[in-house]
Amino acid sequence: MALRDINLTLRDISVTLRPGTPEWPGDTPFDCRWTWKMSDGASVNVSAISGSPHVGTHADAPVHVEDGALCAHELPLTAFAGPAWVIDVRHVSKTIEYSDLRLDATAPPVERVLLRTGRSIADETFPSEWPVLTPDCLLQLIQGGLQLVGVDCPSVDDRASHDLANHHMIFAAGAFILENLDLRDVVSGRYELIALPLKIEGLDAAPVRAALRPYPHT
């Protein structure tokens, strides 16, 4: 397959990171600036960035909720690439039960689930609330071999949560987390996910460029 054909099969599901991309209230906003500019006489243009790794599309690392746990540079790549189910749960207002996922009992295992809640920062506003998976729903997914939970909203836990129970439950099961995906134009179904976290040492999260392509692909 030609490179052009491969690019056409890829659907970018990342939020564009720019100054003004909504950050979690109180977190460090994203910023970028020019260090050197050719228009000022420099031989090259060189930029610099700053801000929280949780702004925009990112992978949480277990150290985010537990001291001494895995950091961003230690996240296993296998969890972030492979078959994934995009599931539309925009009809759910508060909590997502297993029945809300509307999974076919004869379908292949759900190793990676990407939830389209419709409460995304891709609309350039930080949502006031979003639905979250119930413990029973998470348990059933984990028992089925869950490796990754991805959401288009800012967190796998409720905005007001302080114990971050879903983070703890997912990490304790050896699974991982993607947040702030852009699934606005993605229909439910099975895809191949490619969403590799940047290898930045010691952080509690890492920026991700996430993409989907049809599954199986040729």
- Superfamily of segment(s) 3-214: Putative cyclase (3.50.30.50)
| Active-site residue (options: 58, 64, 162, 168) | 64
Query: For residue 216, what pLDDT band results from cuts at 50, 70 and 90?
Result: confident
Predicted confidence (pLDDT) at residue 4 exceeds the cutoff of 80: no
Q: Indicate the pairing of strand 211-214 with strand 11-12.
A: antiparallel
- Element (H or E) spanning 211, and its range? strand 211-214
Closest Cα partner for 130 from 120, 122, 144? 120
Q: Residue 175: CA atoms inside 13 Å, Cβ hemisphere, count?
A: 25
**Structure confidence at residue 218 (pLDDT):** 45
CB of 53 closer than 8 Å to CB of 203: yes
Query: For residue 7, what pLDDT band results from cuts at 50, 70 and 90?
Result: low
**Structure confidence at residue 104 (pLDDT):** 81
**pTM for the complete prediction?**
0.93
**Picking from 7-16, 127-136, 181-190, 203-212, which range would have the lowest pLDDT averaged per residue?**
7-16
Q: How far apart are CA 95 and CA 88, in angstroms?
A: 14
C-alpha distances in Å from residue 216, one per residue of 1, 84, 183, 195, 212 = 15, 11, 19, 17, 11
Q: How far apart are CA 64 and CA 53, in angstroms?
A: 11
Is residue 64 part of the annotated active site? The answer reads yes
Dump pLDDT digits (tens) for 16-53. 999 999 999 999 999 999 999 999 999 999 999 999 99
**Structure confidence at residue 217 (pLDDT):** 58
Q: Indicate the pairing of strand 112-116 with strand 81-88.
A: parallel
114 alpha carbon, distance to own chain's centre: 8
Residues sharing a CB contact under 8 Å with residue 93, sequence separation 6 or more, in sequence order: 131
Q: Exposed, middle or buried, 46 (CB in 10 Å: 0-12/13-18/19+)?
A: exposed
Query: For residue 8, what pLDDT band results from cuts at 50, 70 and 90?
Result: low
Query: For residue 3, what pLDDT band results from cuts at 50, 70 and 90?
Result: very low
Predicted confidence (pLDDT) at residue 5 exceeds the cutoff of 70: no
User: Domain-by-domain residue ranges, the chain?
Assistant: 3-214
Dump pLDDT digits (tens) for 91-127. 999 999 999 999 887 777 899 999 999 999 999 999 9
